[in-house]
Structure 1
Amino acid sequence: MKVNKSIFIIPFLLLVSFIHAQENQITKVKIKGHKRLKISYLQSVILTQKNKPLDSLKIEEDIIFLKRLPAISNVSYQVNKIQENNYEVLFTIEENFTIIPEINLWTTTNNQFSYKLGLYDYNFLGRNITFGGFYQNNGFDSYAINFRAPNLFSKKWGVAINHQDWKSEEPLYFGDKTANYLYNNISFEVLALHQINLKNSFDFGFNFFSEKYKYLSGATDASIPQNLDLDKILLKLVYSYDSLNYFFQYVTGFKSVLYAQYVITENDFQNDFLIAWNDFFYYRRIGAKGNWANRLRFGLSSNDKTPFAPFALDNNINLRGVGILVDRGTGSIVLNTEYRHTIYDKGWLAIQTNMFTDAGSWRNPGGELNDFFKEKNIRIYSGIGLRFISKKIYNATFRIDYGFSLLNSKNNSKGGLVFGIGQYF
């Protein structure tokens, strides 16, 4: 007997149509609270879309993504039923002020008065674009122009373009001797930015730069040139895994950022070299007002025996209290851990105290991996600090820390104050 297939197909199609009709659908997506942010931009980067099934997981993912934007301090949402199986999703945004001036004043070791003036918009054109630059005078003129648009082409693809002309007086170390050089780096960089998903992203591209070293003062050595002019090409890759969640000044979760750079150069003094380091971050809320923050950095580079080694030991980079550019190496292990406690939180202002410990060790240029475990290369500093945080201005955290050495060694400074903008990590 021949069976009519339509007897089975038609009921099946009707069943599928019935199930689809029972799905909760989004008929409206509304966003309120935005000021400078363009509504067209916000609609293009969220997963929650009109005429799509209502999905609470996608809404939560949108909340995390939006909180990470510099222009947004906090986001909440509501799901409102319009009629049977039809819903409206309402996002309520609290915007940050994102046009931030940069003003730094300091004196160098030779009592040179120095200053840095800059201006950055972290929400240029209302589309999550960072654009700005700075001028610096520390006895020498420096400047930079930076453009970063992570969603320029789509939610997943963007571009960064940077130009810098940097000059600074830097100490170079060879044996027990020290010399001061004028260092000048002129660079042009283009990076492609790709977001795989909410947690994973890549930056990759090229940096064309020239480095110039000019002897100023201090010890000399026949093997160390007093003037260098080097043209180089840098291939750059940054891979980020980010599962952090933000609630104003509080952070929770884990983040890992891998930086890999291969520098190509043609000269008799330096070889091509590879440098890579990974930053691991872990944050945890402690009670209602506490935040435990940690950063572990491990890095290695080509192990050339040169005073121009890439990893620097410095107050503003790794160890609070150690001093400014006190040593260099071809490898680095640094652990920063601190407990932040909010003592005031009202309106736009929050104040935090913090207790920290920074510990690190270095591989000497041309040295061995066991250099990390040598007493003379180990530094441990601890201290306390204050944070003054604006909850309405992006990255407007003024920090002051005092760090002191926990080791009695002639290689360690006794300690000192460290100022900065933004959390240390």
Structure 2
Amino acid sequence: MNFHRILYIVFFITCISFGQDKVISEIHIQGNNKTKIASILKLTTIKQGNALDSLQIEKDIKRLKRLPSIAHAYYQVNTKEEGYEVVYGIEENFTIIPSVNVYTTNNDEFAFRLGLYEFNLMGRNITLGAIYQNDIYSSYGANLRAPFLFGKNLGIALNYSNLTTQEPVFLENGTADYKYNNTSYEILGLYQFNLQNRIELGINYFNEEYTYKTGATADGVPLDFDVNKLLYKLIHEYDNLDYDYQYVSGFKSVFNMQYVISTEDILPDFIIGWNDFLYYKRIGKKGNWASRLRLGLATNDDSPFAPFAVDNNLNIRGVGNTIDRGTGVIVLNTEYRHTIYEKDWFVLQSNVFVDGGSWRNPGGDFGDFGESQNFRIYPGVGLRFMHKRIFNAIFRIDYGHGITENATNGFVFGIGQYF
């Protein structure tokens, strides 16, 4: 009896062993030089001892390719006696990056912004940087962003800026130019729910100062004032983009809501919100179609200091620097990008685009979006000079030419894709 019992036990254990899936016995990271292995493993979902799941691995690779520190990522699975060996291969970006933005129009406007950013501080995917801007007046700012400071999902961002520009204020009897200064301090909490969804929630304390320079004046519109404000901010991002070096495919949505409290009646409290919908599609082997639709509304105060601007560097290439304002916005940017030349790390890409939009006048109604004087349509062409292994190393030149009434034309230079 004992012999038969032993045979039964051996047979039972053998059946269980053959019925079990092999598990992950080893996880290796290769190709990383600067990025810490612990920082990469923190963001992955597979674990040693778990069953092999190819869907989890694909999600890990997709997430890693979105990091500023990583140009490309791939994986290998090797079968071992004790289980599966999973290898994540990393091609790192160079992440200490200067930024340059230059914009001009045919009425001799000229402005530029220079910056220097480290996108992988201490090998932990922390961003630290500073900017200097000259747009008639000098401005500067600094940013720290650590999205994974407190784990895989929780981080923090700190921002400071001292921005000074010459801003047009649009009155019924003409346009006035004001010297505008905004000094702000911001703290944001960052939380990522999953691969697609994340939020930012925080507060911004800032001071706005307007000083009249030249142009029209109007009763009830002060020549000089200084006001402190408090801004509460909520951002939700849905990101389902997939990257293959310079090519992008998929859909992304970014919702931004702000509530601003003012200490002066001339600049009342208001709510502003907008959503950017972005869609990218690969066209053949060398083409990429990209589109961005922005829909935005703000409290509809009849104020010359409306929050949505028509601007070269924000929404319409070639239009000029802050040529109009509104309390609502509809803007569509669509472009076709085509790789003309690619060899090793270098890519030359052409670009054909149409930027178009309309604004609601301060105190106006939704019919303003259909008024011809509020329309701006600017087709144009551009070039992109890219380095595939330096994060965001895309030098862009765009020329936009307006085809609607009172149109201008001009060049917009910058680092990174326009959107």
Q: Indicate the residue corresponding to 2:414 in structure 1.
A: 420
Q: Does 1:232 align with 2:229?
A: yes
- Higher deviation after alignment, 75-84 or 132-141: 132-141
Q: Indicate the residue corresponding to 2:84 in structure 1.
A: 87
SS in 2 for 1:70: coil
Pick the aligned partner of 1:250 from 239, 247, 251. Answer: 247
Change (3 A) 1:20 1:171: farther
TM normalised by structure 1 equals: 0.92
Give the deviation of 1:268 after TM superposition: 2.0
Q: Indicate the residue corresponding to 1:8 in structure 2.
A: none
Inter-partner Cα distance in structure 1 for 2:101 and 2:366: 38
Q: Indicate the residue corresponding to 1:343 in structure 2.
A: 340
Identity %: 53
Q: Indicate the residue corresponding to 2:180 in structure 1.
A: 183
Give the deviation of 1:108 after TM superposition: 9.3
SS in 1 for 2:399: strand
Q: Indicate the residue corresponding to 1:63 in structure 2.
A: 61
Q: Does 1:216 align with 2:213?
A: yes
SS in 1 for 2:77: strand
Give the deviation of 1:339 after TM superposition: 0.6
Alignment coverage as a number of residue pairs: 409
CA RMSD, Structure 1 to Structure 2 (Å): 2.1
In the alignment, is the contact (CA less than 8 A) between 1:28 and 1:88 conserved in 2?
yes
Inter-partner Cα distance in structure 1 for 2:338 and 2:390: 20
Give the deviation of 1:112 after TM superposition: 8.8
Give the aligned residue type for 1:47: T
Q: Does 1:43 align with 2:41?
A: yes
Give the deviation of 1:229 after TM superposition: 0.7
Q: Indicate the residue corresponding to 1:388 in structure 2.
A: 385
In the alignment, is the contact (CA less than 8 A) between 2:100 and 2:414 conserved in 1?
no
Pick the aligned partner of 2:302 from 292, 302, 305. Answer: 305
Q: Indicate the residue corresponding to 2:355 in structure 1.
A: 358
Give the aligned residue type for 2:222: P
SS in 2 for 1:69: coil
- Higher deviation after alignment, 100-109 or 352-361: 100-109
Change (3 A) 1:73 1:176: farther
Give the deviation of 1:141 after TM superposition: 3.3
Give the aligned residue type for 1:76: Y
Deviations 1:189-223 (A, max 9, x none): 00000000000000001001111111111112222
Give the deviation of 1:322 after TM superposition: 1.4
Deviations 1:232-290 (A, max 9, x none): 11000000000000000000000000000000112121211000000000000000000
Change (3 A) 1:19 1:362: farther
SS in 1 for 2:61: helix
Deviations 1:21-56 (A, max 9, x none): 712211110011101101111111111221221110
Give the aligned residue type for 1:418: V
Pick the aligned partner of 1:74 from 68, 72, 75. Answer: 72
Change (3 A) 1:394 1:201: same
In the alignment, is the contact (CA less than 8 A) between 2:104 and 2:318 conserved in 1?
no
5 Å-filtered alignment, 1:126-205, equals: 126-205=123-202
SS in 2 for 1:418: strand
Inter-partner Cα distance in structure 2 for 1:268 and 1:332: 24
Change (3 A) 1:103 1:353: closer
Deviations 1:286-308 (A, max 9, x none): 00000000000000000011111
Q: Indicate the residue corresponding to 1:4 in structure 2.
A: none
Give the deviation of 1:20 after TM superposition: 9.4
SS in 1 for 2:331: strand
Pick the aligned partner of 2:21 from 20, 23, 43. Answer: 23
Give the aligned residue type for 2:34: R
Give the deviation of 1:59 after TM superposition: 0.3
Inter-partner Cα distance in structure 2 for 1:405 and 1:186: 34
In the alignment, is the contact (CA less than 8 A) between 2:160 and 2:185 conserved in 1?
yes
- Higher deviation after alignment, 205-214 or 48-57: 48-57
In the alignment, is the contact (CA less than 8 A) between 1:108 and 1:114 conserved in 2?
no
Give the deviation of 1:349 after TM superposition: 0.7
Q: Indicate the residue corresponding to 1:281 in structure 2.
A: 278
Pick the aligned partner of 2:374 from 363, 374, 377. Answer: 377
Change (3 A) 1:96 1:272: same
Q: Indicate the residue corresponding to 1:328 in structure 2.
A: 325
Q: Indicate the residue corresponding to 2:6 in structure 1.
A: none
Give the deviation of 1:115 after TM superposition: 5.3
Change (3 A) 1:118 1:199: same
Give the deviation of 1:158 after TM superposition: 0.3
